[in-house]
Chains A and B, each alone.
Chain A
Amino acid sequence: EDQVTQSPEALRLQEGESSSLNCSYTVSGLRGLFWYRQDPGKGPEFLFTLYSAGEEKEKERLKATLTKKESFLHITAPKPEDSATYLCAVQAGGNTPLVFGKGTRLSVIA
């Protein structure tokens, strides 16, 4: 069974304190790994798709990396506006829906 585990469940950072969120997955033939950001009371907002081990993508203070077993979302010098829940999802090979992790709730304190 395809599974996604995100850690930590919650993370509290001071403004400017860089850190990483982890997404571990087990899937039969990875087709893609997806990162989303979700603000309270809103729908998830797409951030990145990674397709193969070694791939990296960046957007502002966020950088996503992928290995064969996990992905990291690195946050460099975070600001309070980066506070949100970050969701990771994988898609296995073939026509299958995404499998989501439960998310990491990030709080950045000024």
Chain B
Amino acid sequence: DVKVTQSSRYLVKRTGEKVFLECVQDMDHENMFWYRQDPGLGLRLIYFSYDVKMKEKGDIPEGYSVSREKKERFSLILESASTNQTSMYLCASSPIAGGETQYFGPGTRLLVL
């Protein structure tokens, strides 16, 4: 079974803090993705990576950065958290370049005060 884990289920941070969200997959997938999900807006792609040390901007990269130093780990970084970054963050991975079936983690619900 594919397993994607995220470091926290719930997180509360203050405005201006630097926030790290970690994602780990155990199936040797090449591709990894970060989304945020908000009511009425659906899933929006923030960043993705097709290989170690590679990253591509998604639809809403502003205010975020990512790091992929190892194949199994993809980190999302909020450089200076703001209240409009309060959201559900979802990580996903997939086995081959170009997408194929994506498998999602349980999500991190982030509240920025």
Residues of A within 8 A of B92 (CB): 43
A94's nearest neighbour on chain B, judged by CB, is: B98
Nearest Cβ in chain B — how far from A8, in angstroms?
15
Stretch of A18-26, A52-60, A62-70, A96-104 on the interface side: A96-104
Partner of A97, one of B33, B40, B90, B105: B33
Partner of B42, one of A31, A49, A102: A102
Asked if A72 is at the interface (CB within 8 A of a chain B CB), the reply is no
Nearest Cβ in chain A — how far from B63, in angstroms?
19
Asked if B48 is at the interface (CB within 8 A of a chain A CB), the reply is yes
Given A44-B90, A87-B43, A98-B104 contact (CB < 8 Å): no
- What 0/1 pattern do residues 27 to 38 of A give for CB contact below 8 A with B? 000011010100
Partner of B90, one of A31, A43, A89, A94: A43
- Contact yes or no, A44 B48, CB < 8 A: no
Residues of A within 8 A of B88 (CB): 41
B106's nearest neighbour on chain A, judged by CB, is: A43
Chain A contact residues (Cβ within 8 angstroms of B): what range?
A: 20 to 34
Residues of B within 8 A of A89 (CB): 102
Nearest Cβ in chain B — how far from A64, in angstroms?
13
Residues of A within 8 A of B40 (CB): 102
Given A43-B90, A100-B42, A95-B50 contact (CB < 8 Å): yes
Nearest Cβ in chain B — how far from A60, in angstroms?
18
Measuring CB to CB, which residues of chain B are less than 8 angstroms from any residue of chain A?
4, 33, 40-43, 45, 48, 50, 58, 88, 90, 92, 97-107, 109
Q: Which 8 pairs from chain A and chain B are nearest by CB?
A: A43-B104, A102-B42, A95-B98, A100-B43, A91-B99, A44-B104, A43-B107, A43-B106
Measuring CB to CB, which residues of chain A are less than 8 angstroms from any residue of chain B?
31-32, 34, 36, 41-46, 49, 87, 89, 91, 94-98, 100-103
